[in-house]
Amino acid sequence: MSSPVLEIRNLDVTYPTARGPFQAVKDVSFSLGPGERFGLVGESGSGKSTTILALMRMLRGGLVTGGELLLNGRDLTKMTNAQYRALRFAEMSLVPQGAMSSLNPVLRIGRQIADIFEDHGVRHAPGERNRAIGELLQRVGLEPAVQNRFPHQLSGGMKQRVCIAMSIALRPSLILADEPTSALDVMVQKQVLGTLGRVQRELGAAVVLIGHDMALMAHFVSRIGVMYRGELVEIGPVKKVFSAPEHPYTRMLIESLPSFDRVGAFRLAPPAGAGGA
């Protein structure tokens, strides 16, 4: 494997609470090669979203209390906030979870994409910018004219596509997708994920996909990590994790899948804290 795009070593994230510090992420390590698709699964509260937020330095109230975050060889923990701002979306972008509410309701789509260009110093000749935005929208399967619309004039799937278009605007080497399809219905979920996969391949960017839907995940990623109570309890190629899960929690997740190619999987889910949220 060539040098990794992302390398996380022994990450600890702690939230100070009224009842003492709460460690949300414990000693998590994994790495991604260029263009690789990595999946992170776990129930809500397992620390998978916190890991992503720590990567983006967008923890609200939480603190990175240990470990190293290396993006293209540079140590993110040593960066100033201003450096971090410049890096967001340029090298590492985010496709948010709540696409329905992630677009500014009072600005047109085109404006919200143009903001990214402007604040990262990307200059366009007059008239060129509209074309660039239109092209970006076309790449995620939307009409260029969508840039003149307001968010409330778009469907959920369209909004999520807009978010994907934004995430590739500056051609980052890493895309973090935080349950990008959780708010959509099943048919749209597949299409949106397909779009994400296509633009990611064209771009050659690595992807971290977060989710709790093992089945959906298995179709998309090549490697998978399972998080449970803040720890990365299992990591490996999808096939291996599915065929020979090591951790009991992983086994439980797989067994609770109503899968067609896994005969005999229609068992009742185990009790006590079972199943993802």
Partner 1 sequence: MYLSYVSRRFGIMLLVVFFAVTINFALPRMMPGDPIESQLNQLLASGGGAVGDVGAMVESYRARFGLDQPIWQQYLAYWQSVFRLDLGSSLTNYPERVSDAILGGLPWTLGLLGFATLISFAIGTLLGGLMGWPRAPRAVRGFGSAVALLSSVPYFLIGMILLYLFAIVFRIFPAGGGMPFGMSPGLNWPAIQGILWHGTLPALAIIIAEVGAWALGMRGMMVSVLGEDYITLADAKGLKPKRIFLWYGMRNALLPQLTKLALSLGHIASGAILVEVIFSYPGIGFRLYQAIQSKDYFVIQGIVLLLSVSIAIAMFILDLIYPLIDPRITAKGK
Which amino acid is present at 177? A
Q: How far is residue 204's CA from residue 277's CA, in Å, rounded to a whole number?
A: 32
Question: By C-beta, is 82 or 187 nearer to partner 1?
Answer: 82
Output the CA angle 127-129-135, nearest 5 degrees.
Answer: 110
Residues paired with 232 in a beta bridge:
227
Question: By C-beta, is 165 or 226 nearer to partner 1?
Answer: 165
Using the contact rule CB under 8 A, the part of the chain among 17-25, 91-99, 200-208, 228-236 near partner 1 is 91-99
96 near partner 1 (CB under 8 A): yes
In whole angstroms, how close is the CB of 166 to partner 1 at the nearest point? 7
Q: How far is residue 140's CA from residue 217's CA, in Å, rounded to a whole number?
A: 20
Q: Are strands 6-17 and 206-211 parallel, antiparallel or unpaired?
A: unpaired
98 near partner 1 (CB under 8 A): yes
Looking at residues 184 to 213 of the shown chain, list those that interact with partner 1 (rule: CB under 8 A): none
Find the radius of gyration of the CA atoms of the chain.
19
Using the contact rule CB under 8 A, the part of the chain among 148-156, 209-217, 224-232, 239-247 near partner 1 is 148-156
156 near partner 1 (CB under 8 A): no
End-to-end CA distance of the chain: 35
88 near partner 1 (CB under 8 A): yes
In whole angstroms, how close is the CB of 161 to partner 1 at the nearest point? 14
Among 11, 87, 137, 233, binds partner 1 (CB under 8 A): 87
Using the contact rule CB under 8 A, the part of the chain among 13-21, 26-34, 110-118, 254-262 near partner 1 is 110-118
Question: By C-beta, is 133 or 218 nearer to partner 1?
Answer: 133
Looking at residues 221 to 260 of the shown chain, list those that interact with partner 1 (rule: CB under 8 A): none
Interacting residues with partner 1 (CB under 8 A):
56, 58, 85-90, 93-94, 96-98, 101-107, 115-116, 118-120, 150, 152-153, 163, 166
